[in-house]
Amino acid sequence: MKPTHQVRFWEIKTLKPDANGKRRKRPYGVRWVTGGREHSEWFTTKALAKSHLGKLVLAANRGEAFDITTGLPQSLYRDAHAPTLLQVAREFLGEVWPDMSPSSRDRLVCGLAVAVQGFLDSEPDTDPALVRRTLTTVVLPPRSAALAPSDEQARIASWLTEHSRKVAELVDDVEVTRLGRKLGERLDGRKAAVTTIDTRKGALVQALSYAVTRSYVSDNPFKNMSLSRFRSGIAIDPGVVVNPAQARALLAAVTYARPRGTNPSWLPFFATLYYAGMRPSEARMLAEQHCHLPNTGWGEL
């Protein structure tokens, strides 16, 4: 952007009908000058022309600099030239990739894949799981770490590049809410676990903070945003162990909640998993001769 504050505006110009008396398609013109260079935009109705002129005048009154080449004020120039969320994600990952551990890379790539897939201008006509896999293995990782795409993945990658929405659109509260909801969903539409949502949000916050430092956007709408409304109260995180009170309640429940006709050994099976820390396959093969069970105190398996 080549900035200038030397801006002049002219009245809206109306073109007369052509030689055949036919009305021109866009007869109403907005004309202005930035740094000595003339610019014009033409519209189908006078109302649209007035609206555009009003935006330009308002920007000038706010003290915004105008780009000499395009004639756009800083706010409109930034929106017009803002990168897509996919471009920001790739640029950000390229910057931080060398200094991150493999697990941190995986978390960032997976989280940003959900965000990019949830911020498209239309739905792809492809299996969502394949789109997600293409993002995590082909599109988002830096070239040195990306896998060679199949023909189908190359087509998907090209489609994603074309249909990823501009990051500047995240100034809209409605769009922010929609994307926040996407972060809380799994591919099958069910709610994701709490820790999964937090990991996804963390990845997006980092990428958007990078976008702020590069002046792609002026603010990071997810930085202080709570995603608790998108969390499920019943989603189970397999990475979290139940606490003692929950374990006792679960063990009590299996004594009466099992369907009729099923194996009555659910209680000792699950109790062995919890108290002895055994694998399900080990508990299943456990026999009486493997156990030392005194009348009092702890036993031994």
Specify the amino acid at residue 248: R
- Between CA 206 and CA 121 the distance in angstroms is 23
Predicted confidence at residue 223, as pLDDT, reads 86
Predicted confidence at residue 252, as pLDDT, reads 82
Residues whose CB is less than 8 angstroms from the CB of residue 285 and which lie 6 or more positions away in sequence, other chains included: none
pLDDT at residue 270 greater than cutoff 90: no
Question: Is residue 48 a contact partner of residue 40, using CB atoms and an 8 Å limit?
Answer: no
Question: Is residue 35 a contact partner of residue 2, using CB atoms and an 8 Å limit?
Answer: yes
| C-alpha distance from residue 191 to each of 106, 113, 184, 229, 230 (Å) | 21, 17, 6, 11, 8
Predicted confidence at residue 7, as pLDDT, reads 96
Give the three-state DSSP class for 133. Answer: helix
pLDDT category at 232 given cuts 50, 70, 90 is low
- Between CA 189 and CA 118 the distance in angstroms is 12
- Between 117 and 143, whose confidence is greater? 117
Q: What is the DSSP string of 220-252?
A: -TTTT---GGGS-SS---TTSPPPHHHHHHHHH
pLDDT at residue 184 greater than cutoff 70: yes
Predicted confidence at residue 229, as pLDDT, reads 58
What's the whole-number mean pLDDT along residues 220-224?
Answer: 87
Stretch (H or E) spanning 55? helix 46-61
Predicted confidence at residue 12, as pLDDT, reads 95
Predicted confidence at residue 277, as pLDDT, reads 87
3-state SS track over 153-184: HHHHHHHHHHHECEHHHHHCHHHHHHHHHHHC
Q: For a pLDDT cut of 90, what percent of the chain falls above it? A: 55
Predicted confidence at residue 81, as pLDDT, reads 76
Torsions phi, psi of 142, nearest 5? -55, 160
pLDDT at residue 228 greater than cutoff 70: no
pLDDT at residue 101 greater than cutoff 90: yes
Residues whose CB is less than 8 angstroms from the CB of residue 36 and which lie 6 or more positions away in sequence, other chains included: 6, 68
Question: Hey, where are the domains in the chain?
Answer: 3-81, 85-230, 244-290
What's the whole-number mean pLDDT along residues 4-31?
Answer: 93
Residues in the chain: 301
Model pLDDT for residues 67-80, shown as the tens digit of each residue: 999 999 988 887 77
Mean pLDDT of the chain: 88
pLDDT at residue 104 greater than cutoff 60: yes
Give the three-state DSSP class for 81. Answer: helix
- Between CA 89 and CA 112 the distance in angstroms is 7
Predicted confidence at residue 36, as pLDDT, reads 93
| C-alpha distance from residue 266 to each of 236, 289, 300 (Å) | 20, 19, 20
Predicted confidence at residue 193, as pLDDT, reads 87
Q: Is the pTM of this model over 0.75?
A: no
Give the three-state DSSP class for 215. Answer: coil
Q: For a pLDDT cut of 70, what percent of the chain falls above it? A: 92
- Between CA 204 and CA 198 the distance in angstroms is 10
pLDDT at residue 135 greater than cutoff 60: yes
- Between CA 277 and CA 272 the distance in angstroms is 7
pLDDT category at 235 given cuts 50, 70, 90 is low
Predicted confidence at residue 298, as pLDDT, reads 84
